[in-house]
Amino acid sequence: MDTNQIEYIPEQAQSKRKRSGFLRIVVDIFETLVLSVVLFVGVNIISARIRVDGDSMVPTLISGEYVVVNRLSYRLGNPHRGDIIVFHFPRNPAEEYIKRIIGLPGDVIEVMDGSVYINGQPLDERYLDVKVNYTGKWEVPQGQLFVLGDNRNNSSDSHDWGTVPMDYVVGKAVMVYWPPLEWGLIDHVKLANAAR
């Protein structure tokens, strides 16, 4: 056997290999792009991302933080008092606000003596830094939510402009993802002592 013998590959076969290699790269790139688009659309269907703008949710959320919002939370379940939600501002639906749910449909909300009462029961709101310095009484209509910012005295919320229609709710705020030092799940305090 001659070890110096070189196997000859016809040019046509070499050309087919080059084409099939190039075609495989094009197919791989196309598959990657399609998968990326499907994942992007899927993630945007089930979640949203918003930037906290302003101090109305201090101390829970700080201006400049970025938050992930679960869009499916109220399609698959019901809102609860204490949930922090993102919604379209009723006076200008192009704007999105983030606040805490205080009242559900049928609830009577009263603010007096620096505290919030739901259906005559005072809320235990240890997450607040200050006492409320305004008063008022509101009844939450069917299909609506009563929301307040955690920075009660410096928040544009339901005590100013009324309730939020349920179909304006984008979803439930789930976690802070930016800045990295603030990364973590958002605390949704259960305000259970307000049951009727």
CATH code for the domain of 111: 2.10.109.10
Residue 101, CA distances (Å) to 32, 94, 173, 189, 191 in order: 41, 20, 11, 10, 9
Domain count, the chain: 1
Residue partners of 15: CB distance under 8 A and separation at least 6 = none
pTM for this model (two decimals): 0.75
Q: Give the span between the Cα atoms of 117 and 137, in whole angstroms.
A: 9
Q: Can 16 be counted among the known catalytic residues?
A: no
| Domain contains 4 | no
pLDDT band with cut points at 50, 70 and 90 for residue 126? confident
User: What would the pLDDT profile of 52-111 be if each residue is shown by its tens digit?
Assistant: 888 899 988 989 999 989 988 888 889 999 999 999 999 999 999 999 999 999 999 999
| Domain contains 32 | no
For residue 101, give its domain range.
Answer: 49-191
Residue pair 46/72 in contact (Cβ under 8 Å)? The answer is: yes
Q: Which of 16, 47, 56, 155 is catalytic?
A: 56
Residue-averaged pLDDT of the chain: 83
| Domain contains 184 | yes
| Domain contains 5 | no
| Domain contains 35 | no
| Domain contains 136 | yes
Q: What are phi and psi of 69, to 5 degrees?
A: -120, 130
Tokens of residue 181, six digits: 């030092």
H or E segment and range at residue 130: none
Give the best-scoring range by mean pLDDT among 2-6, 26-30, 90-94: 90-94
pLDDT at 195: 47
Q: Which of 20, 47, 73, 99 is catalytic?
A: 99
Q: For the chain, what is the radius of gyration of the CA atoms?
A: 27
pLDDT at 179: 82
| Domain contains 28 | no
Q: Can 56 be counted among the known catalytic residues?
A: yes
| Domain contains 169 | yes
